Structure 1
């Protein structure tokens, strides 16, 4: 539920108070960035998605109905922006030739390696990379719920609002997603170790 302090900040932000808007964004910027980073797997791309999300939030703040927490609304916008970004990127890669004016035939191309973020590498580089590889092999609906709950740490209520479904649906999706991830993890582990 939205607090009175948050409601007052939102009201002032809707009236054009930039300081109130900035305070609202600062309260959820870190987690919003982490969500974007988990989806797009590149720090620069995550910052671009976040910037685009904040512009959308600013433009549509007057439409925020205050039925959910502000941060939940922000996370929903960030998740949607990530999916838009990934769709555009996928389409771009299908359409772009390996040869261009900038990269003539035979020239070396810098291709991002898709490595996990530094904090994961510090904990356990190989295990984290393996888990992320497995995560990429599960259906998008399962991947989304794992990122929101297990990686980002959002509550069932927040996920319910972001995905616009009931808490019961969230719990069952999380259960199925974890089971699916575990099966892929164990099956690939057998293959990898054999």
Structure 2
């Protein structure tokens, strides 16, 4: 699989549109799931997918085929999600000042996710609590938790995707898990 990605990326870099279309097919769902888990908003996740592939397309000549294509595309997608989360925080802090300082956490003031009936999959209460808890993770933990447990990337792959040492990834995973454990204990 990974060798095929690299070969497709090389072909796409040379102007092969069919190869690029194949890369889109291979990764659009993976990037969508990553973005949806990070942002928990369908519309924004779709935008991240489009933006990721736009970045991939315009930066293909910078892709180093010595590294896995998956690592490269996850780095682009994750960084776009983190940028989006940072913009949300800025928007929230402005809204909060107009909100008479009511003690809502910033997630509760975000636009609703407009779940459509077909998208509303029945989750067990525990799964729903875990998902909601992941949503409240600070962004530096959220990215590593999502990439590790929901996208199933190895520590090494996460390290490459986020340009951080494996030791930092391990620390953030540990702290993210602790945060989730404490959060879930208060719910049970």
1:87 Cα deviation from its structure 2 partner: 2.7
Give the equivalent residue in structure 2 for 1:101: none
Give the equivalent residue in structure 2 for 1:23: 22
1:33 Cα deviation from its structure 2 partner: 0.8
Change (3 A) 1:140 1:118: farther
| Counterpart-to-counterpart distance in 2, 1:169 and 1:94 | 28
Alignment size in residue pairs: 175
Q: Residue by residue, what CA displacement relative to the aligned partner does 1:45-75 show, whole Å, maximum 9, x if unpaired?
A: 1101110111111001110112321111111
> Is the contact made by 1:35 and 1:148 (CA closer than 8 Å) also made in structure 2?
yes
Give the equivalent residue in structure 2 for 1:102: none
Change (3 A) 1:179 1:114: farther
1:183 Cα deviation from its structure 2 partner: 1.7
Moved over 6 A (4+): 117-120
Q: Does 1:143 align with 2:142?
A: yes
> Is the contact made by 1:2 and 1:67 (CA closer than 8 Å) also made in structure 2?
no
Give the equivalent residue in structure 2 for 1:55: 54
Give the equivalent residue in structure 2 for 1:155: 154
> Is the contact made by 1:2 and 1:66 (CA closer than 8 Å) also made in structure 2?
no
Give the equivalent residue in structure 2 for 1:83: 82
Change (3 A) 1:118 1:181: farther
> Is the contact made by 1:7 and 1:66 (CA closer than 8 Å) also made in structure 2?
yes
Give the equivalent residue in structure 2 for 1:38: 37
Change (3 A) 1:146 1:91: same
Q: Does 1:13 align with 2:34?
A: no
What is the DSSP-based 3-state SS (H/G/I as helix, E as strand, rest coil) of the residue aligned with 1:122?
coil
Scaled by the length of structure 2, the TM-score of the pair is 0.78
- Structure 2, unaligned stretches of length 5 or more? 99-110
- Structure 1, unaligned stretches of length 5 or more? 99-110
Calculate the aligned-residue CA RMSD, in Å. Answer: 2.9
Give the equivalent residue in structure 1 for 2:122: 122
Q: Does 1:189 align with 2:179?
A: no
The structure with more radius of gyration: 1
1:37 Cα deviation from its structure 2 partner: 0.6
1:132 Cα deviation from its structure 2 partner: 2.8
What is the DSSP-based 3-state SS (H/G/I as helix, E as strand, rest coil) of the residue aligned with 2:152?
coil
Scaled by the length of structure 1, the TM-score of the pair is 0.76
**Higher RCO (C-alpha under 8 Å, 6+ residues apart):** 2
